[in-house]
Structures are given as structure tokens and as C-alpha cells.
A and B are shown apart, each in its own frame.
Chain A
Amino acid sequence: MLGFLARRLLVAILVCLTVLTFAFALTRLAGDLAISIAGAQATAADVEIIRKAYGLDRPIVEQFFDWVRRAAVGDLGQSYFFKEKVSKLIADRLPITLTLGLVGLTIALTVALPLGIVAALNESRVVDRLVSLVALLGQAMPSFWLGLILMITFGLHLGWLPISGTGTWQHFVMPGIVLAFSAIPALLRLTRSGMIDALASDYIRTARAKGLSRASIILKHAARNAAMPVVSIAAVQLGFMLGGSIVIETVFALHGVGFLAWESISKNDFPTVQGVVLLLAIIYTLLTLIADMFNAVLDPRLRAS
């Protein structure tokens, strides 16, 4: 177990270092940063001043190690546009993105778990077909378009929910639904196949032989076992959802990390973009790490490999 843990942790740290390098290279390889920051009207002299001021005249290797050293202690530099520390900008907005992610995940699980179980219980029948059709339809829905349709329907015509902004819990309902759509198909399929496997297993046969009621077999035995992989995939899905929230936060003007990333990309504010890329990568890595641990605790066979 300890060996597995150490190996997994080492990979996670290496991944974070790779992303760190990638985030740095991303903004340096694309062109001259000083020219981008200075803007279209800047003269050559202006560009030189900016190059010096931001330390872009130093050797690239020196800049890189400087960035890694600072990032390692949580200093992501100064935002060019917001004139604030990137770490503070992110910390201020992270709660909104996390709330959105958790709302989205809760909605996704509330829809996917029961539907997946119902589909498995009716395997290959009409209900099962309908559920997989729902999954396919959900998968094909462009999130930003769904967001706009919800805005027109629930915001404008019915007037039930606010169209954009961050103020109250109602502001999270529509973005949460849209975000949930991206996770429902995968969670649904996994619940369905896990449940089908569980229903066909020996312990269910034993439970049936013992004369337990159908409801008890389905809920206590099969569903519990089928839910385990779903929970760990849910953690990974949450990571993807936080990354995908950039589109949804922009559509709904929800001022989270995604919206921050969008603003900083359009303002050529590279330290902030780098910071958000790094943060999302670290959160994703942590979530997969937790999911792996969870699986290893549940399934001793995994630890050995």
C-alpha cells in the first residue's frame, strides 16, 4: 500500500512539474511577450521599456527557474491587467468555481445514478434504449448553446431565474444544469454497466437464494457495489468540469476562475492565464489521486499491480 502511494504521489508531482513547464512554454513559444503586452500602438522604445520592467530581457532559463521557484511557494506573480497578485485573484474567485462544480456534480449524480440503475434493471428493453438515447442527446448538446436556450426560457420568458451574474444561489442554478450535462452521459453509462455486472454476480445470486426482497437486493447490495466506481469517476469528472467551466462562466458572466481566465486571455494577461492553467491542473491531479486512493482502498488487487 505504501509503495503504491509513493509511486502514485511521485507521478502526481512529476505531472505538476510538466504542466508548470508547459504553462511557461505556452506563453513564451508563441511569440514576443513584450510586443503583445505593449499593444498595437507601442513604439520600439516602449517595447524595450516593458521588456525590462517585466524581466523579459533575462535569459529564458533564468526566467523559467524563477517562475518555478516562485510557483512552488504559491507566488504566481503579478497580474499585468488587474495589477494584483495572481494568487489573490484566483483565491478570490475559486469559491465560485468550486460551488459551480459541486452544484453541477450534484445535479449530474442525481440524474445519472437513478437513470443508470433503472436502465440496468431493464437491460435491452425499451426503457434502457430510451436512457441511452438521453445519454447520446446530452453528449451532443453544445454547452454554450444550452446555456443560451435556458436563459431565453427560464430567464426571459418565465422569469424564474436571473440571466447572469453571481449574487445569489439562484445564479448557480442554470450554469449548474449546463455543467451537469457534460458529466451525465459518462456517469450514466458507468452506473448502468456497473449495475449490470453487479446484478449478474455471485453475491446477488446468494442474496436471492437467501430470499431477500427485490428492493433490498437492488438497493443494498447491487447499487452499493455499482456506485463505488461511479464515485471515483465523479472525482475525475469534477476535475474536467472545473476546466470546462470557462465556457459556462463566460456565458453566464459568473465571476469565477473560468471567467477570470477568459478575461485575462482577452487582455493578454499571461501571468494570470499561467496561474489558472497550473491551478486547474493541480486540482485535477489531486482529484485523480484521491480517486485512485479510494479505488485502492476498496480493491486490494489494484495495490499489488
Chain B
Amino acid sequence: MTGWRNWGLWLGALIVGTTLLVGMFAPLLAPHDAFAFNLSNRLVPPFWMEGSKPEHFLGTDQLGRDYLSRLIYGARISMLIGVTTVITSAIIGVTLGVIGGFFGGRIDDVVLFAITARLSIPLILVALAVVSLVGSSLTVVVMTLGLLLWERFAVVARVTTMQVRTLDYVAAAWSAGCSRSHILFREVLPNILSPLAVVATLEMALAILLEAALSFLGLGVPPPLPSWGLMIAEGKEYMFFSPWVIMVPGLSLFVLVFGINLLGDGLRDLLRTGRTA
């Protein structure tokens, strides 16, 4: 049981860790300038196909830009979007959830209503509309996704806070005369962090997929930035003749999100067995 799951956890951590490092050190790792185009060198196929060139390991795109370099910079954008969106949405969601779960009553009703209302708003449609109205940039995409993806944090923070609130050590802290903020930040918050870590992986995967979808539809990260979703959109026109132009960034996206989900699943199992033991 644990053997297989741990394998998944480690594989997930490996994928996410590698992508994070690649993103961080993109300028050092990229063999070419990811933005420099060379129209005489367009759509060079990758190494496993005939006609490939040794200096372009994964070929070049429709403007002759080195595909491997763009892929490496794309990792940076995906990780940047994933991490910053999760931080933004975690701050909103955890605050709302903890307040609702801790105080209960009318306050909790308001929090629950906010969650219900947020769930009824069509995510992608509203994100597209906001980006189109405000103008597409990396910051706008991060803010929009961050403001929309908080509900799962709120749901989990609310329920776990409710459970923790009734536990003995919280009662002990109350009777020892601790202040409300002490109990919130020192007793409740540290004890709901592990389920929230699992939510963070789920949301990170979702944010990365959503950014790719927005960029694919032309309302995400603006060109010439090499977002993986944008690379797929730009390659779409050529995909029937050179399918690799959409396979390379698509597969990267798929593997990264799969890795994040493996990590989240592994964490969940680790916590579950930790709790029952």
C-alpha cells in the first residue's frame, strides 16, 4: 500500500521539483534566446525526426525560435502562475474559511453564501471576460485566477477549523486565558495546515491548466512570452503537418500537472495514514 503510494509521491515531487528548478534557472539553461526569431530556420523538426538540426534539440517554431528554449521559459511561466495564484487564493480562502468555521453562526452563513455564489460563477468565462476587459498580462492573469480559485481553500479551512475548535487543546488554551488571536494563529491555523497543503496542490494544478487554456484562447499570457498554452495555440495552424509543435508543449503541460496531482495524492495518503496511526 504505502510502497506504491510513496512511489507516486516521489515521482510527483521529482517532476514538480525539476520544473521549479528549470523555471528558476531558465536563463542559464536555455541554449538559445527564446525570443530571437530566424525566418530562414522555421519549423525545424525535433531530434527524433528526419531533417532535425543538432543545435535545435526540440526544433524551432513557426518563427524559427528555438523550441527547447521556449519550453524552458514556459516552465518558468507555468510555475510562476501556479505558485502566485495559489498564494493569492490561499490567503483569501483560508481567511474566509477560518473566520466562518471559528465564529460560526451568522458569520459562517455569510462565508457559506460567498462560497455558494462563487461556485455558481462560470470560472473560465469570467476569467476570459476579465482578462479581455483589463488587458492581458501576466499580472492580470495571476490576479484573476487568484481571485476566482479560493473556494476550495475556504471549504476545507472552514470544515477543519470547525473540527479543531472543539478539540481539547483549544479548550485548554481558552481556559488558560489566551487571547482570541493567539488561539486563531497559534492553535487553530498550524493544525489545519496539512489538509490545506493538499488543496494547494490541487489548486496549483488547476491554475496552471487554466492559464494554459486562457493563453490558448488568446486571452492569457500575451505573446511573445512562451507560455505552454500559447505555444499550443501558435502551433495549431501547423499541427496537421507537423503535429510535434503541439505535442511538445502539450506533453510538458500534461506531465507537470500529472506530477502535481501525484504529489497531492501522495500527501493526502501520507496524512490519512498519519492520522489513523
In the bound complex, residues from chain B placing their C-beta under 8 Å from that of A262 are: 128, 217
Is A124 close to B, CB under 8 A?
yes
**Residue in B4, B116, B129, B212 whose beta carbon sits within 8 Å of that of A273 in the complex:** B129
When the two chains form their complex, are residues A265 and B122 in contact, meaning their CB atoms are under 8 A apart? no
- How many chain B residues have a CB neighbour from A under 8 Å? 44
Q: Mark B187-213, 1 if CB is under 8 A from A, else 0.
A: 000000000000000000100010011
When the two chains form their complex, are residues A247 and B217 in contact, meaning their CB atoms are under 8 A apart? yes
Question: Which segment, of A39-47, A75-83, A114-122, A137-145, faces chain B?
Answer: A137-145
When the two chains form their complex, are residues A243 and B205 in contact, meaning their CB atoms are under 8 A apart? no
In the bound complex, residues from chain B placing their C-beta under 8 Å from that of A19 are: 117, 120-121
Q: How large is the interface on A (under 10, 10 to 19, 20 to 34, 35 or more residues)?
A: 35 or more
When the two chains form their complex, are residues A136 and B261 in contact, meaning their CB atoms are under 8 A apart? yes
**Residue in A142, A244, A273 whose beta carbon sits within 8 Å of that of B257 in the complex:** A142
Instruction: Give CA–CA (A31, B254) in the complex, Å.
Output: 36
Query: For chains A and B in complex, what number of residue pairs have CB atoms within 8 angstroms?
Result: 130
- Give the nearest-CB partner of B243 in chain A: A152
In the bound complex, residues from chain B placing their C-beta under 8 Å from that of A265 are: 128-129, 132, 219
Is B167 close to A, CB under 8 A?
no
When the two chains form their complex, are residues B116 and A15 in contact, meaning their CB atoms are under 8 A apart? yes
**Residue in B116, B212, B255 whose beta carbon sits within 8 Å of that of A11 in the complex:** B116
Known A19-B117, A243-B123: A142·B134 in contact at CB below 8 Å? no
Instruction: Give CA–CA (A141, B246) in the complex, Å.
Output: 14
In the bound complex, residues from chain B placing their C-beta under 8 Å from that of A31 are: 133-134
Q: Mark B253-277, 1 if CB is under 8 A from A, else 0.
A: 1110110011001000000000000
Q: Mark A11-32, 1 if CB is under 8 A from B, else 0.
A: 1001110110010001100110
Q: Sort A-B residue pairs by CB-CB distance and give the 6 closest, nearest first.
A: A243-B122, A30-B133, A140-B258, A145-B250, A140-B257, A280-B122
Q: Besides A15-B116, A136-B265, A281-B120, 15 other CB < 8 A contacts? A: A27-B129, A31-B134, A139-B261, A140-B258, A142-B213, A142-B250, A145-B212, A145-B232, A145-B254, A151-B239, A242-B122, A243-B123, A265-B129, A265-B132, A268-B132
